[in-house]
Structure 1
């Protein structure tokens, strides 16, 4: 009887722990969404254009990123007198980098495309995440951040570090296969500013791509879908 009671208490503890974990994850997500502008506001965002420069090995490279919600993302890169681009859509990825000697557009590796597809969601990948087939697990706290393991429908996982005080995304960590080698990629987000009622990180620093500083972000701009073809 004693063992049965202990077993029963163990089961109850597990149930309550899982419930508390789910509630904690959703609580962090909800506060994060509110910090970006709120559900209703984010749902009105259909497109975004970010203009700025990327610093790689001491060189500043002009970039423009154009996104149309869940349809396409295009990054235009001007460097050393060449015009380069990368395109991501729900179905594929294409890159044309003449600065690297490419003579014609080339399909991007499947792993790279899958890793980038979450960025097609301009409204936030965590907005109504359950409806999108995304799983979110609360991993506790680390320093001044809460940690969330976010697993997207395509199987890609990323750990989000969301600030306890401001509920903004401070860092993301993920593992990616680059040139056949698995690497951990750390990206930090800072210099948040409000644009048309939405909050954006104007500085994004990647352990792979270096630092990107945006000087202009436009929302709900008209986007011709042909730029993704």
Structure 2
């Protein structure tokens, strides 16, 4: 009886050891960047401007998203003839348009500091992750919507929530065939959704000046629905006037 139980255990341990030597998290990440344009090209990228549409209750909302290597960023939505600026960062001040008053409001210092931390991940948190002081670990394999994936855990520098440092971890699911991520998962640390999982799915990778980007993105809370974002165009290294990022004065 003991021998019958022992043999499957040995076989399982042996298969796990073989699998562990098959590929590493570092190799998966390197393959990802090489397959989507090459690390040199990604390293030379100075900025990204995306034009997209969000379907909200049957209404299409045009959206413009800009991220620059300098850390500056903004999201601009056009709604009923008005432009709403969200998550605008000029390198020091983080602000957004209040939907009710339609006036610009600055974020608190903790939110601003966390945003500044995220902007340093351009063009991707996985890019040169070791130099950023991050750690990547291959967790295993999982099947996501019929696709076999490698699950990689990326541990970044902690964020702050209510003055306390909290873990900053993202799980990436890479297709085993072409090494592009099709799903990201992050645990929400702030109320009212604290403890729930934020999911972002990516698909329809297309080439833009030699680099590949997902043109279909969906983001939401796990098991609670998601919001689809359809990318219409992507411009690399756009020229953006610095005044766009500045907090408006009366």
Q: TM-score range by the shorter chain?
A: 0.7 to 0.9
Partner of 1:216: 233
Q: In structure 2, how many angstroms separate the alpha carbons of the residues matched to 1:105 and 1:138?
A: 41
Partner of 2:132: 132
Describe the shift of the 1:113–1:59 C-alpha distance in structure 2 as closer, same or farther (beyond 3 A): farther
Question: Contact 1:189/1:204 (CA < 8 Å) preserved in 2?
Answer: yes
Alignment of 1:169-184 (within 5 A): 169-177=181-189, 179-182=191-194, 183-184=196-197
Q: Greater share of helix residues, 1 or 2?
A: 1
Partner of 2:63: 63
* 184, 190, 198: which one aligns with 2:203: 190
TM-score by length of 1: 0.81
Question: Contact 1:191/1:202 (CA < 8 Å) preserved in 2?
Answer: yes
What do the CA deviations read for 1:163-214 (whole angstroms, capped 9, x no partner)?
Answer: 1011111000111245533131111001110000011111110115611111
Question: Contact 1:203/1:211 (CA < 8 Å) preserved in 2?
Answer: yes
Describe the shift of the 1:30–1:89 C-alpha distance in structure 2 as closer, same or farther (beyond 3 A): farther
Q: In structure 2, how many angstroms separate the alpha carbons of the residues matched to 1:178 and 1:55?
A: 26
Q: In structure 2, how many angstroms separate the alpha carbons of the residues matched to 1:156 and 1:91?
A: 22
Q: In structure 2, how many angstroms separate the alpha carbons of the residues matched to 1:194 and 1:55?
A: 24
What do the CA deviations read for 1:34-83 (whole angstroms, capped 9, x no partner)?
Answer: 12211111111111100011122332111001111142111001112321
* 143, 147, 151: which one aligns with 2:151: 147
TM-score by length of 2: 0.74
Question: Contact 1:32/1:167 (CA < 8 Å) preserved in 2?
Answer: yes
Q: In structure 1, how many angstroms separate the alpha carbons of the residues matched to 2:220 and 2:122?
A: 23
1:160 aligns with 2:172: yes
Question: Contact 2:35/2:179 (CA < 8 Å) preserved in 1?
Answer: yes
What do the CA deviations read for 1:8-41 (whole angstroms, capped 9, x no partner)?
Answer: xxxxxxxxx8xx58x6111111111112211111
Q: In structure 1, how many angstroms separate the alpha carbons of the residues matched to 2:78 and 2:209?
A: 27
Q: In structure 2, how many angstroms separate the alpha carbons of the residues matched to 1:130 and 1:27?
A: 13
Does 88-97 or 49-58 show the bigger shift? Answer: 88-97
**Aligned residue pairs: how many?**
211
Q: In structure 1, how many angstroms separate the alpha carbons of the residues matched to 2:185 and 2:115?
A: 12
- Unpaired runs of at least 5, structure 1: 1-16
Does 69-78 or 187-196 show the bigger shift? Answer: 69-78
